[in-house]
Amino acid sequence: MSDRTGNDPYIDPQVEPVLERMLASMAERGPIGSVPPAQMRQRFNEDVSGWNLDLPDSHKVEDFAINCECSSRIVPVRLYRPIDTDEPMPCLVFVHGGGWVVGDLETNERTMRCLALASGVSVLSVDYPLAPENKFPAGLNCCVAVMRWLREHGPDRGINPDRLAIGGDSAGGNLALATALDLRNAGEYWLQLALLVYPALSPNTDSPSHRLFGQGDYGLGTTAMEFFWGAYLPDKSAEDDPRAVPLLADMKGLPPVYIVTGGLDALTDDSNRLEQKLEAVATPVMHRHYPGMIHGFFSMALFLDVGQEAVAEAAAALREVMGTS
């Protein structure tokens, strides 16, 4: 396996105008964390609204809520069914990114529809409780509870409980992997796949990718990630908890893992390290790396050809694993 972060000296031409707009917006807003979380969420929603134009039609999009009895929470979810069928469908549960602080069911609306349509798999998006109001492990506990609810009640929603996968991007990738680890630790081995899109797996920023791309010149940087980790973790001791920092965990017994990374992303070495740990215990892993891409590109398929390619390739992996080819 080669070091992927050192061989990406260029920016994809389609990324350049995206990055220019992103950096201009960041400069206008000042330091991250300088406004209350509610205002951060409003700004983020305005930013990502441009990602979610020209929505492809899905057979059925349904909003409902799941009662997470373990935490006495009601978790809003959105289910995308790509085809009209009476048969129970495989389902990918997807957890949005946003540093555990921002994001909701609208964040990846277009991406979820595209994944569902291209894979033939239903997709369930989860609106987990956000930090800093709800610190670790609140969001994780809800994600685990949603998976267990689907395992028990999936047929009531047209979902095959024997064909379930978990996925997420950035902070959502952290929650997705931690959910898979929690289920494994409980002796529950029914997940079919973990789809991890540039996941945030460790607060340790002493890595080549952080040194190369963490100054903020490519969007998400080291300072921002330090803020997000500080908002998510209840205290310093949580940095030693594999449920919060899944890169610390033993990776034995996990389902196959599909990883997506970008060449200009400070988080890429989290995924490189995860790939090494998975390979060391013979857990099947596929790592698709896209040179010249910034953090967030998977959600920008509307105007990035490589983003569209990455979504299509992840959908193909879902089709193969979930039996919808």
User: Could you tell me the pLDDT band of residue 5, with boundaries at 50, 70 and 90?
Assistant: very low
**Position 150 pLDDT exceeds 90:** yes
80-100 average pLDDT score: 97
The model's pLDDT over 153-211, given as tens digits with 9 standing for 90+, comes to 999 999 999 999 999 999 999 999 999 999 999 999 999 999 999 999 999 999 999 99
User: Choosing from 170, 202, 207, 299, which is the catalytic residue?
Assistant: 170
Query: Quick one: average pLDDT of 72-89?
Result: 93
Among candidate residues 272, 312, 277, 305, the one with its CA nearest the CA of residue 289: 272
pLDDT at 2 over 50: no
Strand partners, 60: 81
Q: What is the mean pLDDT of residues 25-30?
A: 90
287 as an active site residue: the answer is no
123: left (phi over 0), alpha (psi -120 to 50) or beta: beta
Instruction: Please say whether the dihedral angle defined by the alpha carbons of residues 295, 106, 228 and 315, taken in this order, is positive or negative.
Output: negative
How buried is 68 (Cβ within 10 angstroms: 0-12 exposed, 13-18 middle, 19+ buried)? buried
Q: What 3-state class would DSSP assign to 15?
A: helix
pTM: 0.96
Q: For 226-235, how does the pLDDT look when each residue is reduced to its tens digit (9 = 90+)? A: 999 999 999 9
Q: Where are the alpha helices (DSSP H) in the chain?
A: 15-29, 37-49, 109-119, 138-153, 171-185, 208-213, 222-232, 268-280, 305-322
Lowest mean pLDDT among 1-5, 120-124, 134-138, 171-175: 1-5
Mean pLDDT of the chain: 95
| Structural domain boundaries enclosing 142 | 5-322
Choosing from 12, 182, 295, 299, the catalytic residue is 295
pLDDT for 255 beyond 90? yes
| pLDDT level of residue 6 (50, 70, 90 thresholds) | very low
Measured in Å, how far apart are the chain's first and last C-alpha atoms?
29
Contact 310, 288 (CB under 8 A): yes
From the candidates 104, 265, 269, 270, give the one annotated as an active-site residue: 265
Res. 3: pLDDT tops 70 = no
The number of domains in the chain is: 1
Which CATH number belongs to the domain containing residue 33 in this structure? 3.40.50.1820
265 is catalytic: yes
